[in-house]
A and B are shown apart, each in its own frame.
Chain A
Amino acid sequence: MKELKLMKGNEALAEAAIRSGCDAYFGYPITPQSEVLEYLSLEAEKRTGMTVLQAESEVASINMVYGAAGTGKRAMTSSSSPGISLMQEGISYIACAELPCLIANVMRGGPGLGTIQPSQGDYFQAVKGGGHGDYRMIVLAPSTVQEMVDFVRLGFDLAFKWRNPVMILADGALGQMMEKVELFEQQPRKTNIEPWATVGKPKDRERNFITSLHIQPDKMENINLHLQKKYNEITKEEIRFASSGCEDAEIILTGFGLVARICQKAAQLARAKGIKVGVFRPKTLFPFPYAEIEKLASNPKLKGILDVEMNAGQMVEDVRLAVNGKTRVEFHGRMGGIVPSPEEVLAKIEEKFVGELV
């Protein structure tokens, strides 16, 4: 049965957490995502008995997530950029201890205290590993409120499939805007006990312990090799993307999240003017769809790629790696909480490429 609702992005994400059968949420207020904690405080416990706790800081929240995730329960937190920076230590520990959990970053403009307006300035932090050491999160980039819902459930599934932290990398606009969403049915809370979880040692199994400490270098290298192997498998199996109008395109716009929708509109405007523009959107930022972008770049009809982001040029580095010199890659970015308009993206296409499109 379809359940349609008009919902704000942050509230939709919170609703999806309840419906995913999430066991525990730990968070700290920060604009523009405080509605997640507010919505869960009001709704979660009475509906599913889910734990919701306002922590004293983001440092505490992520470590509460560590504790709850270490018992094999579905645990999550959410925050926005400065708060996510505070969580980086904990995320690194979680990644090494291989704890499944969900972290949502509703990004705002930085650096520093920055602005409360939307941004995509935390791509590097999320995708390349903002904490110390060699680790990866699976990073999902929603571009609609519907995906704010869908990626919560998907995020938990991937987190448990791979015993890895998953981040939903959204932005302030997605968090605040209202759209129609289709909600999935309530999923049961988790009752099975993971074999690795710390829930109290029965007589008939060895003790379980959760740690990220392996002081012998050979052991720590093996842990690293194991993690890298896992990340390679994730790369093989979990790449997700969307593309439209790329087959006959002379220009391809790349962008993630909200920006991909702006690109979509810009592509329409361009096609109305007779410029064949396509849009390619990675849904997973890690793993990144390098091979798919390389394939598009190999199309002889293609004049180039314009990558658009709400930052100074972060994902564009991965686009360039993927393209590997096969076509020209231009970049257009806005920062500090400014959202680019479809018209300005179109103007960029014309400025950078149209002279060559005869």
Chain B
Amino acid sequence: MNEKTMLGENIAETADTQEVICCPENLVYEKPDTLLDTPMHYCPGCGHAVTHKLIAEVIHEMDIQSETIGIAPVGCAVFAYNYLNIDMQEAAHGRASAVATGVKRVFPEKFVFSYQGDGDLAAIGTAETIHTCNRGENILIIFINNAIYGMTGGQMAPTTLPGMKSTTSPFGRDVATMGNPLMITNLVASLPGVYYATRVAVNSPSNVRKAKKAIAKGFEYQKLKKGLCFVEVVSNCPSNWKMTPIQANKWLEENMFPYYPLGDLKVPNDKEK
């Protein structure tokens, strides 16, 4: 008997038996109350969905739902506030870190984070990003880098790889005329206002676990008023990369990781903690 049939038999049994199965002792995972039931609009296999879930889990586990304000970007994650069951503000394109600054400055004791894509954070919002980091605002910036504009349909992003095709670099990104990918996380890691900068991914279970730890650290350091935390998530865009989710994750490993290596870019000096 294979597993499926066994499961089928279980379901077919009486209601009493089912209740026994669904008991607290058997519970291994529960959707956190910080995540709403709204079906996500993200494409299958997209890293946004996983990252949202991680944020929701961290907020739930730290029990800071009532003290957290999130800032959504313009881009695919523009509707983040439809999925996260927390107070949120939807910012103009690129301005999420300025909006986060406004919130944090009047409520310094609250947890504030912005969630931004590469076009939002590293193209139109570069000035806000750099200056928010440079002021060392005590917030967390979560930066989704998938090297493309998702929502508008696959145009070149500031982080599009050299030679990578997009609808506005149809022959591949020519660095001679289009510039090189902007390594914004390396850039902000060099600023004294940034306390913690790291690059993670959500393409595999082990990477998901590391990404969650990084997000959790970002909130923990915020609690300790350490300054700005910056978590880059090297992500995918199966739809606009024109790949299946599996192909996209493979392409991510083979092409994105060499250019955007995972790991910490700036780690807090333990002695000063």
Contacts known (A201-B85, A211-B81); A67 close to B98, Cβ less than 8 A: yes
- A128 contact set on B, CB distance < 8 A: none
**Interface pair B101/A53, CB less than 8 Å apart:** yes
Say whether A60 contacts B131, CB under 8 Å: yes
Shortest B134–chain A CB gap in Å is 9
Q: A56-B127, A60-B131, A200-B67 are in contact. Are A66 and B106 (CB under 8 A)?
A: no
Cβ contact within 8 Å between A51 and B66: no
Q: What residues of A have a CB within 8 angstroms of the CB of B86 in the complex? A: 200-201, 207
> Hey, which chain B residues are within 8 Å of A200, CB to CB?
64-69, 86-87, 110-111
| Distance A15 CA – B234 CA, assembled complex (angstroms) | 48
**Is A119 in contact with chain B by the CB < 8 A criterion?**
no
A267 contacts partner chain B, Cβ-Cβ < 8 Å: no
Contact B95 A90 (CB under 8 A): yes
CB-based contact B90/A24 at 8 Å: no
Smallest CB-CB separation from A66: which chain B residue?
Answer: B99
Residues of A within 8 A of B72 (CB): 211
Task: State whether B128 touches A60 (Cβ < 8 A).
Answer: yes
- Chain B 120-147, CB-CB to A under 8 Å as 1, else 0, gives 0000000110110000000000000000
With A63-B128, A200-B66, A209-B87 as given contacts, are A23 and B99 in contact (CB-CB < 8 Å)? Answer: no
Question: Contact at A211–B90, with CB atoms within 8 Å?
Answer: yes
Within 8 A of B (CB), among A224-265: none
B residues less than 8 Å from A223 (CB atoms):
none
> With A199-B107, A200-B65, A200-B66 known to touch, is A64 a contact of B89 (CB < 8 Å)?
no
Which interface residue of B84, B88, B110 has the most chain A CB atoms within 10 A? B88
On whether the beta carbons of B88 and A66 are closer than 8 Å, the reply is no
Stretch at the interface among A32-40, A68-76, A162-170, A345-353: A68-76
Please indicate the chain A residues that have their CB under 8 angstroms from the CB of B104 in the complex. 67
Q: Which of A71, A203, A207 contacts B103 (CB 8 A)?
A: A71
When C-beta atoms are compared, the residue in chain A nearest to B134 turns out to be A56
Q: Is A65 part of the contact surface with B, judged by Cβ < 8 Å?
A: yes
Within 8 A of A (CB), among B72-117: 72, 78-79, 81, 84-92, 95, 98-107, 110-111
Cβ of B88 and Cβ of A68 under 8 Å apart? no
Q: Nearest Cβ distance between residue B188 and chain A, in whole angstroms?
A: 14
Chain A neighbourhood of B90, CB < 8 A: 97, 209-213
Q: Is the CB of A201 within 8 A of B98?
A: no
B71 within 8 Å of A (CB atoms): yes
- Contact between chains at B92 and A90 (CB < 8 Å): yes
Give A278 to B68 CA distance when docked, in angstroms: 57
When distances are taken between beta carbons in the complex, the residues of chain A under 8 Å from B84 are 207
Most B-side CB within 10 Å, residue of A51, A67, A71, A75: A67
In A183-199, the 8 Å CB interface with B consists of 198-199
8 Å CB contact of A67 from B64, B71, B78, B85: B71
Checking A51, A61, A70 against B89 with a beta-carbon cut-off of 8 angstroms, the contacting residue is A70
Verify if A55 is at the interface (C-beta below 8 Å from B): yes
Are A199 and B69 interface neighbours, CB within 8 A?
yes
In the complex, whether A89 has a CB less than 8 A from a CB of chain B is yes
Closest to B69 in A: A198
* Residue A57, interface by CB 8 Å: yes
**A26 CB-CB contact with B under 8 Å:** yes
Q: Name which residue of chain A comes closest to B108, CB basis.
A: A51
Residue of B nearest to A72 (CB): B106
In the complex, what residues of B have CB within 8 A of residue A213's CB? 78-79, 90
Q: Is A24 a contact of B87 with CB atoms below 8 Å?
A: no
Q: Which residues of chain A have C-beta atoms less than 8 A from B91's C-beta?
A: 63, 66-67
**Does A59 touch B at the CB level, under 8 Å?**
yes
Q: How far is the CB of B52 from chain A (nearest CB, A)?
A: 14
A89–B74 CA distance with the chains assembled, in angstroms:
14
- Contact between A66 and B89, CB atoms less than 8 A apart: yes
**In the docked arrangement, what's the CA distance between A71 and B127, Å?**
24
Known: A59-B95, A60-B95, A71-B106. A202 touches B89 (CB 8 A): no
The smallest beta-carbon distance between A213 and chain B, in angstroms, is: 6
Q: How far is the CB of B181 from chain A (nearest CB, A)?
A: 24
Interface membership of A115, Cβ < 8 A = no
Would you call A70 and B103 a contact (CB within 8 A)?
A: yes
Is the Cβ of B99 less than 8 Å from the Cβ of A64? yes
Q: Is the CB of A23 within 8 A of B106?
A: yes
A208 contacts partner chain B, Cβ-Cβ < 8 Å: yes
List chain B residues, Cβ under 8 A from A66. Answer: 89, 91-92, 95, 98-99, 102
Complex A-B: 21 CB contacts under 8 Å: A24-B105, A60-B95, A60-B98, A64-B98, A65-B102, A66-B99, A67-B99, A68-B103, A68-B105, A70-B89, A70-B103, A73-B106, A90-B95, A199-B87, A200-B64, A200-B68, A200-B69, A201-B86, A207-B86, A211-B89, A213-B90
The 6 closest A-B pairs by CB, nearest first: A67-B102, A64-B102, A67-B99, A63-B98, A198-B87, A211-B90
Known: A59-B127, A210-B89. 9 other contacts (CB 8 A): A61-B98, A64-B101, A65-B102, A66-B89, A68-B102, A75-B106, A200-B111, A201-B86, A207-B84
